[in-house]
Amino acid sequence: MEKNTQFIGQSSVFLDAVEQAGRAAELNRPVLVIGERGTGKELIAERLHHLSPRWGEPLITMNCAALPETLIEAELFGHEQGAFTGATKARPGRFEDADGGTLFLDELGTLSMAAQERLLRVVEYGEVTRIGASKPLTVDVRIVAATNEDLPAAADAGRFRPDLLDRLSFEVITLPPLRAREGDISVLADHFGRRMAAERDWPQWPGFTTACAAELEGHGWPGNVRELRNVVERAVYRWNEPGRPISRITFDPFASPWKPKSMMKRAEATPGDTPAAPSATALPYDEINDLRAAVDGHEAAIIRAALDRFRYNQRATAKGLGLTYDQLRHCMKKHGLSAG
């Protein structure tokens, strides 16, 4: 799958973060990018590099969580021949590779204290010493780091060096989660859907049904944009009627009545993040002696269940019930239903 480097979105909170990255790109200062998984931290790092005066130099990426602790320092700072078992020849580290450009350190919070101490010296003095070497090398590297951890709390707990945090946090860009980006879910879903439809050689993009679009709006998206892309592309891939709007979405690809017992036990022990919707309790018809009260009670139960299903996202609830936003608000007020 090709790398997606596009910024898709129109919400003010998302555009504010993109604009903040554009301003920070001009300065030769470290930047911390904070955000949940799947919010686009690497895309922001690429924007910071390509809009900076270093755009023609290397952009080197290293995922600090992808390597064992024993190899991280060698990868970052390089090593000399014979520095440790298996070091059959000298090798430059990522800092030397990024000289003149930008080094993006993803999952910064997983760095060991020893690696943090060596990183601090690079930030402070612009010097890198290979493992096994006696003399430092001078490098000119801009550091952009990303994490989904609370680094100030980690510093307070002794798991992250406060002095390193001070030096890396000249600018901090916090990316909003998808659930906070009002209006962006439908835009992103349409974008990913069109791309997948073209990949499958569909003659046109049929879109989603109203109910399906409401489901997308109402989902919590713990995996953010990455999860949304998977869900939309999976829905298109599984849909066999390209002439009709897609009406079926699978949020959990592991959901199956045939899943192994171990997975079923885990699901029972860890409840999902979607609460069960309360059901409306209907009286037998021959026991109803007040039609208006019975209808009102049933309507209130339906709205309450829909609000619960869409996590009290009122616009998504209105779409799911085929109402306008104002109609839903009127019904909620009529039945005394709260907004959360």
CATH number at residue 291: 1.10.10
CA distance 32 to 107: 11
Strand, helix or coil for residue 110: helix
Q: Are residues 161 and 264 in the same domain?
A: no
Between the CA of residue 5 and those of 8, 14, 191, 234, what are the distances in Å? 10, 15, 13, 20
Q: Give residue 331's domain range.
A: 285-335
Q: Is residue 279 part of a domain?
A: no
Confidence band for 2, pLDDT divided at 50, 70 and 90: very low
Q: Are residues 72 and 131 in the same domain?
A: yes
Helices (H) and strands (E) in the chain, counts: 14, 7
Quote the pLDDT of residue 276: 39
Q: Is the confidence at residue 273, as pLDDT, over 50?
A: no
Total number of domains in the chain:
3
Burial of 211 (0-12, 13-18, 19+ CB in 10 A): middle
Query: Is residue 251 within a helix (H) or strand (E), and if so which, with residue range?
Result: none
Threshold 0.95, pTM exceeds? no
CA distance 21 to 265: 44
Q: Tell me what the mean pLDDT of segment 70-87 comes to.
A: 84
> What is the DSSP secondary structure assignment for residue 179, as one 8-state letter?
G
Quote the pLDDT of residue 195: 96
- Contact yes or no for 10/33 (Cβ under 8 A): no
Q: Is the confidence at residue 208, as pLDDT, over 50?
A: yes
Q: Is the confidence at residue 295, as pLDDT, over 70?
A: yes
Q: Are residues 329 and 220 in the same domain?
A: no
CA distance 263 to 283: 39
Quote the pLDDT of residue 8: 93
Q: Is the confidence at residue 305, as pLDDT, over 80?
A: yes
Q: Tell me what the mean pLDDT of segment 248-274 comes to.
A: 72
Q: Is residue 5 part of a domain?
A: no
Find the CATH number of the domain harbouring 262: 1.10.8.60
CA distance 106 to 186: 29
Q: Are residues 202 and 86 in the same domain?
A: no
Q: Are residues 112 and 190 in the same domain?
A: no
Q: Is residue 241 part of a domain?
A: yes
Q: Is the confidence at residue 275, as pLDDT, over 60?
A: no
